[in-house]
Chain A
Amino acid sequence: DGGITQSPKYLFRKEGQNVTLSCEQNLNHDAMYWYRQDPGQGLRLIYYSQIVNDFQKGDIAEGYSVSREKKESFPLTVTSAQKNPTAFYLCASSISPGSSYNSPLHFGNGTRLTVT
């Protein structure tokens, strides 16, 4: 079955450490996205990528970095510069850039990151 795989489901890190969250899709989608979910705040866009080797900052990119070396992979690194990294992180994809206007985003099941 096609879908988006995020791993791990739970991740624990000490403050000051960088951590990388994995996101892999086998839907052959061009566009991929990272969202952060906090209670009562909905989803906020961190970074998105419309094609391989290209990505753009979303609304809350500070303290995060991404890469898009392969179409199916879009890892997110939470750096030590991110002031409040503890959150639920969701990866998503869409068929093509701009297709979310008519077509849904497909989401992974998320990674819950806890930094202490």
Chain B
Amino acid sequence: GDSVTQMEGPVTLSEEAFLTINCTYTATGYPSLFWYVQYPGEGLQLLLKATKADDKGSNKGFEATYRKETTSFHLEKGSVQVSDSAVYFCALSDKSGTSYGKLTFGQGTILTVHP
């Protein structure tokens, strides 16, 4: 079945540091890939997405590129801010089989940014 694996957390950075959160996936078909962010006490919000190989999703300074050859979708940001402190989830939606239309999530990575 489909699965998503994220790097172990938590991740602690100083403001303006470079961020990478690794994400790899296993899917039977040709999935769309997503990064969601969850701020404390809230639900999840879509951060960015990519629907086919080599697509780059970007939003609010975050980027991730859909790499089919390495089955990866790593999240990056060049300079993090304190306000980026949140939990980040990598997810996929497969178009084939019984997973059709459903999202499969990674375990989440807690990011804390200090001033």
B partners with A: yes
| Interface-facing stretch out of A65-73, A79-87, A106-114 | A106-114
Count A-side interface residues using an 8 Å CB cutoff. Answer: 29
Rounded to whole Å, the gap between the CB of B57 and the closest CB of chain A is 11
A101 touches B45 (CB 8 A): no
Contact of B32 among A4, A35, A50, A101 (CB under 8 A): A101
Interface string of B23-45 (1 = CB under 8 A from A): 00000000010100000011111
Interface residues on B, range: 20 to 34
CB within 8 Å of B: which residues of A? 4, 6, 31, 33, 35, 40-45, 48, 50, 58, 90, 92, 94, 97-102, 104-105, 107-110
B78 at the interface (CB under 8 A from A): no
Rounded to whole Å, the gap between the CB of B73 and the closest CB of chain A is 15
CA distance A99 to B103 in the complex (A): 10
A43 touches B105 (CB 8 A): yes
CA distance A97 to B36 in the complex (A): 20
CA distance A99 to B100 in the complex (A): 9
B103 touches A105 (CB 8 A): yes
B107 at the interface (CB under 8 A from A): yes
